[in-house]
Structure 1
Amino acid sequence: MLRPSLLILALCLILTACSQGGKDGKSSDKNASAGANAERTLQVTNEDYVVIQNSALASGPVITGSIQPERKADLRAEVSAIVMQVLKENGEAVKRGDLLVRLDDTSFRDQLASADQGARAAQQTLDQAERQLERLKTLRASGMTSMQALEDAEIRRNNSQSELVAAKARSVAARQQLQRTEIRAPFDGIVSERKVSNGDTAQIGKEIMKVIDPSSLRFQGLISTDMVTAVKAGQAVSFRINGYDQQFVGKVRRVDPAANATTRQVEVLVDFIGKEQPRVSGLYAEGRIEAATTQVLTIINSAIARDGDKTYVWAIQDGLLKKQVVALGERDVRRGDYAILSGLKNGDKVVRQPLSTFKDGLKVEMAASAGVNKATASAAPAPATVATATAAVANASAASASNAATATVAGK
């Protein structure tokens, strides 16, 4: 049996704990109420919303194709020989006249030596025939030879001249064949593909190496035939290239006058504008030709939210946050903005980057921008903006739950 003093002490402790639990419960209720108030009011700055207004929207046919160099050379063997040496590899830069591949030239050197020797022999024969003709002309003037002998000498001289011309032509052909055993770069560029290795047999027409000029890249695209009348030289083109995150800008150089016999599409050649150009050929590209420009209401892509097949935005109307369903049109190829067909009007304000925690009918208050009144902002607590509203509610809920747990433990 407890003594009266101990019983009184136990009762005091129980009453103290219950009193603390009641205070903690009130504190928890206050925190929850503060969180609810923070959720019911949303403060936004000028940077948190955009104003819907008319903008220029570029439209036109879609163009798809690849990036190809204007200057490219498929180097092929012009003589049949064994590949003796390959001096350049894929990706190496070359200058005009650089030796790329050397073929076996043994037989061609022998042919050149033989042709040169034949040309020298023909030259000697011609010289001898001319001297003989001059002697007969002198004898004929003094009546010591016949006219027939003189004519025969002229015929021999003419035949020697013809033989000399033919011998020189054979010499030139043999020298050209010898030069063809050395495959050289036709212009400054880069080796894009090597087709042979040492020891391969290079037949006439065999592909040896490909050289491209990376500074001459262009967009070779295709468009549908029903849009060919809307495309003209000089129109701007915006397109993206696989492997590059940026958007490229070009200009239509020409439209092919003949459609592809298989796909019935028309080729359009587009030159790059500016210094931003890819350094790799053969990449897939897709874009749009800016054939026309219209003034329509537009909205940025980040302000658009989607729920299934519905598209909506969070509009600020009469101090409240409204979930507004909108219908979108074409997308601008330059900026990525969408045309607004219905749902919004000129001058409406929409949240720039909506959050998933927004609720329809939430009260909105305008707050000063981050860069305005820095002295006031440092002295007073900053207002809750779109970016911090959800965090404030979460913190308030967490504090309320923590206080409730503390009160329960204390009560026990």
Structure 2
Amino acid sequence: MSRPSLLILTLCLALAACGQGAKDSKVSDKTANVERPLQITAEDYVTIQNNALASGPVITGSIQPERKADLRAEVSAIVMQVLKENGEAVRKGDLLARLDDTSFRDQLASSEQAARAAQQSLDQSERQLERLKTLRASGMTSMQALEDAEIRRNNSQSELVAAKARAVAARQQTQRTEIRAPFDGIVSERKVSNGDTAQIGKEIMKVIDPNSLRFQGLISADAVTSVKAGQAVSFRINGYDQQFIGKVRRVDPAANATTRQVEVLVDFVGKDQPHVSGLYAEGRIEAGSTEALTIINSAVIRDGDKSYVWAVQEGVLKRVAVVLGERDVRRGDFAITAGLQKGDKVLRQPLSTFKDGTKVLFVASAGNAAAASPIPAAASNVAASVPASASAPASATGK
């Protein structure tokens, strides 16, 4: 009887163990189905508040240098040498290009020789006049001879002046065969090469001063009365991932005859300036400021023409549709015209995996999930309802 009793006892223990395992499995499945709250910290959300919203007319245009020189040929000659290339820095007076000066040097030598001959003729006529004056004083010559000597002296003076003028003109023509930099700057565009024929007026090079760049923009004629010198301007330039700050220097008193737009000249403020001219720029003149609810750009989710945010309301995460107004030209924030109220909490960097209705738990920091904040009472109730056997809740920060 001992053996059957031992066998029956073993079977009973096995069945009891199986029953306990099934019961534990059911409890584990039930615990796994409990939704885990989303942990967020103060760094994960932003509170909607009233802020000053800068407003003003839109300005579009390009970045242009204030100091620029369009160097053109002043004489007709062959281009003998080009010494500077695009992008090279130059100093005032540096030689940029040289034209053929053979004929001009010959003209200069001839005119200088003619000026020396005229000077010798004048000296001789003056000596002759002085001798005749002495003879006339002693009665040994006639008055007519003295007058003739004075006429020859005057003619020699006129010939000398004309010869010097021709020499100066020849010297200028010779100097014009050398194209030199008018100021310190950079060669922005080279137009000729060795062997080209440079006619009078042909463009040789362009030189700009990169330290004199400014924003030459256009505004609508409707906004002219609101724009004044000294107003701040925030704008962006194609090719630069930053926002530039400027100040209105002047408003053109005449509108464009074709577009009816008005040009506004804007100076850069601060050390942040581009080093390339001709780039497109667009911004807004800060002509006024209004109070409005604002939201940061990173918190907005765009779906076609509609905009949404993930807001924390009553301890849960909700996808809220919002209507955006004008954008602040200084910070890039948007005005909120509908959808949110002052004091609402919105996630700064929403993720695509968020679900509407997810419970939210506020924590002191991303690394301390146990220290719950007493901000929303509903969040504390959610935390208390989670069984102790559940795994650690998820965090919005991903830490």
TM-score range, shorter chain: 0.7 to 0.9
Q: Which of these residues, 12, 34, 37, is aligned with residue 34 of structure 2? A: 37
AA aligned to 2:75 is V
TM-score, normalized by length of structure 1? 0.84
Contact 1:238–1:333 (Cα < 8 Å) also in 2: yes
Distance 2:264 2:22 in 1: 75
SS of the residue 1:82 aligns to: strand
Deviations 1:24-62 (A, max 9, x none): 8964x65654444244x2222111111111111111111
Alpha-carbon distance, 1:373 to partner: 10
Q: Which of these residues, 96, 99, 121, is aligned with residue 95 of structure 2? A: 99
Q: Which of these residues, 323, 348, 372, is aligned with residue 319 of structure 2? A: 323
AA aligned to 1:92 is E
Distance 2:22 2:101 in 1: 100
Partner of 1:149: 145
Q: Residues 259 and 34 from structure 1, CA distance in 2 versus in 1: closer, same or farther, beyond 3 angstroms?
A: farther
Q: Residues 213 and 19 from structure 1, CA distance in 2 versus in 1: closer, same or farther, beyond 3 angstroms?
A: same
Q: Residues 282 and 383 from structure 1, CA distance in 2 versus in 1: closer, same or farther, beyond 3 angstroms?
A: same
Q: Could you say which structure has the higher helix fraction?
A: 1
Q: Is residue 2:232 matched to residue 1:236?
A: yes
Ranges in structure 2 where 5+ consecutive residues have no aligned partner: 1-6, 373-390
Distance 1:192 1:30 in 2: 77
Q: Is residue 2:175 matched to residue 1:176?
A: no
Task: Give runs of aligned pairs for residues 190-339 of structure 1, distance below 5 A.
Answer: 190-339=186-335
Alpha-carbon distance, 1:220 to partner: 0.8
Partner of 1:406: none
Q: Which of these residues, 117, 124, 127, is aligned with residue 128 of structure 1? A: 124
AA aligned to 2:273 is Q
Partner of 1:392: none
Q: Is residue 2:89 matched to residue 1:79?
A: no
Alpha-carbon distance, 1:99 to partner: 0.6
Task: Give runs of aligned pairs for residues 335-354 of structure 1, distance below 5 A.
Answer: 335-354=331-350
AA aligned to 2:289 is T
Partner of 1:395: none
AA aligned to 1:37 is V
Ranges in structure 1 where 5+ consecutive residues have no aligned partner: 1-7, 390-412
Deviations 1:314-349 (A, max 9, x none): 222222223322211101112111001122222111
AA aligned to 2:175 is Q
Distance 1:337 1:258 in 2: 34
Distance 1:93 1:223 in 2: 34
Deviations 1:285-336 (A, max 9, x none): 1111111111211011111123343322222222222332221110111211
Count of aligned pairs between the two proteins: 369
SS of the residue 1:211 aligns to: strand
Alpha-carbon distance, 1:354 to partner: 2.1
Partner of 1:386: 396
Distance 1:218 1:32 in 2: 68
Partner of 2:183: 187
Deviations 1:218-266 (A, max 9, x none): 1111111111111111111111111111111111111111111111111
Distance 1:346 1:365 in 2: 21
Distance 1:131 1:24 in 2: 141
SS of the residue 1:362 aligns to: coil
SS of the residue 2:193 aligns to: coil
Q: Residues 284 and 34 from structure 1, CA distance in 2 versus in 1: closer, same or farther, beyond 3 angstroms?
A: farther
Contact 1:251–1:271 (Cα < 8 Å) also in 2: yes
SS of the residue 1:176 aligns to: helix
Q: Residues 343 and 374 from structure 1, CA distance in 2 versus in 1: closer, same or farther, beyond 3 angstroms?
A: closer
Partner of 2:50: 54
Contact 2:39–2:369 (Cα < 8 Å) also in 1: no
Contact 2:320–2:339 (Cα < 8 Å) also in 1: yes
CA RMSD of aligned residues (A): 2.6
Distance 2:21 2:77 in 1: 101
Contact 1:70–1:213 (Cα < 8 Å) also in 2: yes
Alpha-carbon distance, 1:374 to partner: 11
AA aligned to 2:328 is D
Q: Residues 303 and 250 from structure 1, CA distance in 2 versus in 1: closer, same or farther, beyond 3 angstroms?
A: same
